[in-house]
Structure 1
Amino acid sequence: MVESKKLFVGHDANRAGAQLVLLHWLRERKAQGLTNYLLLVDGGSLLEEYKKVAQVWVWRTERPLWFKVKQRIPGIRQAAEWDRTPSKRKMAGILSSLRAEAFDCILGNTVSSVSLLRELVSLHVPFEVYVHELSYSISNFTSEEDRKFMAGQVSRVYAVSALVKTVLEKEVGIAADKIDLLPPIIELPAATQNTHDPVRTALGIPADSQIVFSCGLAEWRKAPDVFLEVAKQLITKMPTVHFIWLGMLDNEYSDNLIATTAIWDTKKQVHLLPVCSDSRPYFEAMDVFFLSSREDPFPLVMLEAAHVGKPIVGVRASGGVNDFLQGLDELLVESWDVAVLVDKISSLLQLSPAQLADYQQNLKERAVQYSAALFMDRWAQLHSK
């Protein structure tokens, strides 16, 4: 198969699941000798990584340095939001550069990129979209015009999980024969050989205390509130267990979660931490991974947890966890009932070494099915139809 000349379009370069999937994909394409082209709506912490593997254009205008500094100075009246809509001259320049490349296909990575795809119709190139979102995100991050564009003018749509495919058919109105299932790609690091546990050392967690872990940007979809209610009740039942959430943000929602938890977490067994670039030590330190999400189309963190062989608890209706854990129904619950979740997690914390070894082998074997090589094989199969 001859790979078409493709323009990828992303909504930003923040360190989150869909953006990381795209980064892994571009890295693998470059490793295979392919040239990558990427148009982003906005920048972010992964921008320099993207630039290592692709020619990159950024649509929106960067805020000036003085604006960023002023926004961070306490007591100073905040500046009005900077209008970041690109000038007509900038838009024309980007469109001219893209037209000169003569792309065969434009692929949007996430529904949040669709509004920018609509700006590219003058290029007269077929559109595709890789969808990593479910109902809440689709309704919040697309307009009615975006959804009509997806249903009517996008030639192929790739759904990251079975539930995403169902939502695209029933709620967006995309014909079933235009949608293909394409699970994500992930780079799984080799296991580290720590002579000590840096997480327990840093957080003061005793060696004999078990750890329930989760991570993700603290927002409604990820349900850190559910995670914390489970922590509150499970600590009462199992007084030595510790809970860690990696992904607190600098906003009112995270501040409220931290303040509310401090009221009852008198022995400091709940650790609410900000995002970090290397989460691997937390996965290696944990005993159970608790995916509390209300919506999670196909969480990469689930694959990271599986790769270290630790049991995963998730809610079947949340999305990709149901795809990944097929055949391991004992790890899934049917709802966000806190009492049921507490019982499920406590039972997993009491597994025998032999039971843990079985899960470790099973989950690791599942995780490696999302390697770069297998993703590229799936991609090639979809395009050989």
Structure 2
Amino acid sequence: METIFALASAQGKAGVAVIRLSGPQSHRAAKVLSGGDLPLRGMCLRELQAPDGSRLDVGLVLTFHGPSSFTGEDVAELQIHGSTASVNAVLRVLSEMPDLRLAEPGEFTRRALENGKMDLAQVEGLADLIDAETEAQRKQAQTILAGELGDLAERWRRDLIRAASLLEAVIDFADEDVPTDVSPEVRSLVNAVMADLEREAKGVRIAERIRSGFEVAIVGPPNAGKSTLLNALAGREAAITSEYAGTTRDIIEVRMDLAGLPVTLLDTAGLRETEDHVEGLGIALARKRAENADLRVFLTEDPEALGIGMQSGDIQVLPKSDLRSDGTEGVSGKTGQGIDRLIHNISVVLRDRTARSGIATRERHRVAMLKSSAALSEALRVLDSGPDLYDIAAEELRTAIRALESLVGRVDVENLLDEIFASFCLGK
């Protein structure tokens, strides 16, 4: 096993930089740099020196003895001053040492997976935590990183192994009288797992939205103040505004944190009949994006006139409330009137939807759970045919178990690993 090293903290000038080493030569390399013996596990302040005796920096040297480390291997970390020159000097000396090489993106985490310190779902949770921008994303990633999906999959797997073992016991004693009918317990175990799988699979799409972000489209007729409203919500001039109808011809997107949820606001072209070819293309695109959005804000007095049906949860607000003298409530991007109420209403709708999210967060998770559920459904069908087909039912249970094992990376995931770890930064 090679020893790898990399800068584990962010690139650029900082107060402290962390350089991580993992592998059988990590403690030896740290010892050479610090010029003295190091504990198998501990921390000490040392002067780091180049091979010619020149001083590189002064920093903390931390050592971890495998398997009690992040990667499950011997690990050393060098916490030095975070100047670019200091970091480069230490990395250069490490690169010249025998049996050491620069780590590839995500290689430390990959070793943690290979050494049983994390399962694949936890690796995905760690990637999500690194990318988290909002509180909801942080909480969701922490749930996966804590191993809750793996624990759930292990419970399902344990119940299905129990069910399969009951059937196989009947098969093994086929020539003898088996005093107990095992089918009720098998059916109970399988039905319970199927119910859990169905519930979790339904929650994946909402969980994916928490991870990747909800889309909220602002739709309305031309010159209704959609771009002005978008700018007010974003707190900056994200879209061009003018008194001329049809100014917006493309989709303007602004990503923001809305009450802890990741939201992308879409400013769409004004919806109307037009003979202008370019504007027509923009309107067609606006309709398509609005229909596919998670939520639509209708900035109009007559939603039906826009040709887009309102769906459950959609919000209608009256435009340009600053110009109204009839006392009706609306919203004005120009004065800010009604903006807080609109943000609250959007947040309430999205929060209500996130309440239906599950622990699983990826399409890969959903596919694995549906594959397992389909095998369980077939097992129940075969089970109704009696003991003569118990061997087939047991094989269907094993198929369901293998699908759950792929959920946490025990089998059939090699083709996913390169893609997953490529998204990690060096040193992670």
Structure 1 length as normaliser, TM-score?
Answer: 0.23
Structure 2 length as normaliser, TM-score?
Answer: 0.21
Which fold has the larger relative contact order, with Cα–Cα distance below 8 Å and residues 6 or more apart in sequence?
2
Bigger CA radius of gyration: 2
